[in-house]
Structure 1
Amino acid sequence: MRYVSIDNVETGQHLGKSVYSSNGTILLSAGVQLTVFMINTLNRIGVTMIYIQDEQFADVEPEEILSEATKQHMIREMSDTFDAVRSGKEWNPARITLSVENLLEDIIGAREVQVQLTDIKTADNARYLHAMNVCLLSAIIGMNIGMNQQQLRDLAIGALLHDVGKVSGGEAFDLIPGSKMHHTWRGFELIKSKRDFNLMIAHVALQHHERMDGTGQPRGLSHDEIHRYARIVTIANTYDNLITPKEHGGKSLLPHEACEEMMAMSGTALDHDLLVEFTRIISIYPNGTGVRLSTRETGVVVSQHRGLPGRPVVRIVRGSGDSLDVKEVDLANATTVFIEAVMN
């Protein structure tokens, strides 16, 4: 498969990864042959990047951590929970906890995999995929720094629900410094009302917009005043926001660009030590990404090295038909060769 911009997708190509609706059902299945109508629809609902099948890269797969069943269950539960909060109805903490336990089972079985956030976001599912992505990244960071099972569960629940305060509306209050109607306060109160949850879970929602230098919201906390769970979720939340297309056509960053921007925030907005842990688990050039090397050759990323996110294996294909010339450059060994640009 190749990971390409929707602008470069052609009629007749086959979809490589399924697209989910807002309730976790499959909107378009992997393998479907794309028509003009389908491509236009994907464009209209806010899709910017998709995987397509390519026989020259048929063996290339994104490194999946979560199973399809876990993803569908989590998206569905977040959709139901947010709908209940939006309408003022009761929501079930036990169902959220079950989703998190499924996620933790998946990540324990894939702890050596580099994280690639390549599920296709649409205008309808973006909020739920964002919650899932932040939960996934936070839990893996927590696991890598040695948190026990209960700590991981609380961290992951807090990460999944970090933006629940946005669902009840009133985001205009976020522009008022110190407002008790800031979405972080609303999220804190919503989670605190559930006795099934540890109070530290509610503090994730309250503190995930605080900054290490004390200039964040809503209370201007700094350094160790910010709970470690919240500092982890802040990093995961920042990354997923940076790589997500903005409303009204705002441009998203590529993974390596997002990581560079986050490193510039180290020690001011983001916890330096936890940010280093984050850079060890993220794939900045996901499998299937087209790249140009410093040798002026172009190719596609086909595999990763744990702990070396900027040094993947790149496959270069020249020619066509029976006269194909294929070679792979392992950047972990070719130390004088670098990725100059992404070519999606």
Structure 2
Amino acid sequence: MRYVSIDDIEPGQLLGKTVYSANGTVLLSAGVQLTVYMINTLNRIGVTMLYIKDDNYADVEIPETLSAQTRKAIFRDMTDTFSAIRSGKDWSTKKISMSVDQLLKDVLDHKGILIHLNDIRTADNAQYIHATNVCLLSSTIGLNMGLNFNQLKELAIGGLLHDIGKTVPLPPGGSEGNLKYHHTWRGFEVLKQKRELSLLIAHTALQHHEKPDGTGIPRGLHNDDIHQYPKIVAVANRYDNLVGNGLAGLGKIMLPHEACEKMMAASEHDLDRDILIEFNRIISVYPNGTAVRLSSKETGVVVRQHRGLPGRPVVRIVRGTGEDIVVKEVDLGQHTTLFIEAVLA
């Protein structure tokens, strides 16, 4: 498979990965032959990138930390939870807890896989994908940092519900710009009322926009006053916003390597440096299927990863067509004088 901008998709190409709606139902199944109507519809609903089948890269696997079943359950339970909160109804923490248990099982079963946030986002499902990705990244960082299962579960629930305050209606005359009505406070108030949830989960929602240098919101806390959970969630939240949340009006979507560079530049000011180091150990900087240009000016597609060397993947270069095709693989972990010069998105 190759990861391709929707602007470069041509009718007749085969979809490589299934596109899901907000509630986890299938919009388009992997393997379907794309038509002009399908491409235009995907473009209209906010899809920017797609996986496409390609015979030259048929063996390229896209590692999945979370199963389709887990994602579907989380999307369903998040939809029910957010809908209940918006309408002022009670909501079940048991459903959220069960979904997080399944997510943590997937994380533990796939320990060691470099994470690539490759979900197909639409305007309809972006909110749920963001919550799931922040939960996944936070849990994996926490696992690398040696948190026990109970701590991981608190962290994971905090990550999944970090933006729950955005579903709470503002009071008459209130605005998000007024810090006492900010979504972090609204989320804290909702979560602290659930006695079956740890108060640390509520504080994760409250503190995930605080910064080590004291310039964060809503309370301007300094480094030592911010709990470890929201520090971790802040890193996960920032990354997912950079690589995928352009749909939320948060600016230009960045490629993974661009986002990682931007985040490291923010270390110790906006984000905790030690947590950023752990984050860089679990993220796929150049995900499988990504087209790249090497410093040798050759172009190819990333086909495999090296655990511990996320910036030095294996790149397959294909030249010619038909019987004249020539294929070679360049392992950047071995060819230390070569590097990725550009991503061809």
TM score, norm. by length of structure 2: 0.97
Which runs of structure 2 are paired with 1:83-162 in the superposition (5 Å)?
83-162=83-162
Off by >3 Å, runs of 4+ in structure 1: 169-172, 246-250
C-alpha change, 1:113 and 1:249, in structure 2 (3 Å) is: closer
Aligned to 1:166: 166
C-alpha change, 1:17 and 1:60, in structure 2 (3 Å) is: same
Per-residue displacement from partner, 1:285-337 (whole Å, max 9, x unpaired)? 11000000000000000010111111000000000001110000000010000
Deviation at 1:85, TM superposition (A): 0.8
- Structure 2 residue identity aligned to 1:112: G
Deviation at 1:173, TM superposition (A): 2.8
The DSSP-based 3-state class of the residue aligned with 2:83 is: helix
The DSSP-based 3-state class of the residue aligned with 1:56 is: helix
Q: In the aligned structure 1, how far is the partner of 2:250 from the partner of 2:54?
A: 29
Query: Identity of counterpart residues, as a percentage?
Result: 62
Q: In the aligned structure 2, how far is the partner of 1:271 from the partner of 1:207?
A: 13
Aligned to 1:306: 307
C-alpha change, 1:268 and 1:150, in structure 2 (3 Å) is: same
Deviation at 1:166, TM superposition (A): 0.5
Q: Contact 2:303/2:316 (CA < 8 Å) preserved in 1?
A: yes
The DSSP-based 3-state class of the residue aligned with 1:326 is: strand
Deviation at 1:169, TM superposition (A): 3.6
Corresponding position: 1:343 with 2:337: no
Which runs of structure 2 are paired with 1:1-344 in the superposition (5 Å)?
1-170=1-170, 173-176=175-178, 179-244=179-244, 245-247=246-248, 250-344=251-345
C-alpha change, 1:248 and 1:274, in structure 2 (3 Å) is: closer
- Structure 1 residue identity aligned to 2:107: I
Deviation at 1:195, TM superposition (A): 1.1
Segments of 5+ residues of structure 1 without an aligned counterpart are none
Q: In the aligned structure 2, how far is the partner of 1:152 from the partner of 1:328?
A: 39
Q: In the aligned structure 1, how far is the partner of 2:295 from the partner of 2:13?
A: 30
The DSSP-based 3-state class of the residue aligned with 1:202 is: helix
Per-residue displacement from partner, 1:173-224 (whole Å, max 9, x unpaired)? 3323xx2211000000111111110000000000000001000000000112
Considering only aligned residues, what root-mean-square deviation do their CA atoms show, in Å?
1.2
Q: Contact 2:291/2:300 (CA < 8 Å) preserved in 1?
A: yes
Q: Contact 2:16/2:30 (CA < 8 Å) preserved in 1?
A: yes
Q: In the aligned structure 2, how far is the partner of 1:269 from the partner of 1:120?
A: 28
Q: In the aligned structure 2, how far is the partner of 1:174 from the partner of 1:259?
A: 28
The DSSP-based 3-state class of the residue aligned with 1:316 is: strand
Segments of 5+ residues of structure 2 without an aligned counterpart are none
Q: In the aligned structure 1, how far is the partner of 2:251 from the partner of 2:222?
A: 30
Deviation at 1:97, TM superposition (A): 0.4
The DSSP-based 3-state class of the residue aligned with 1:336 is: coil
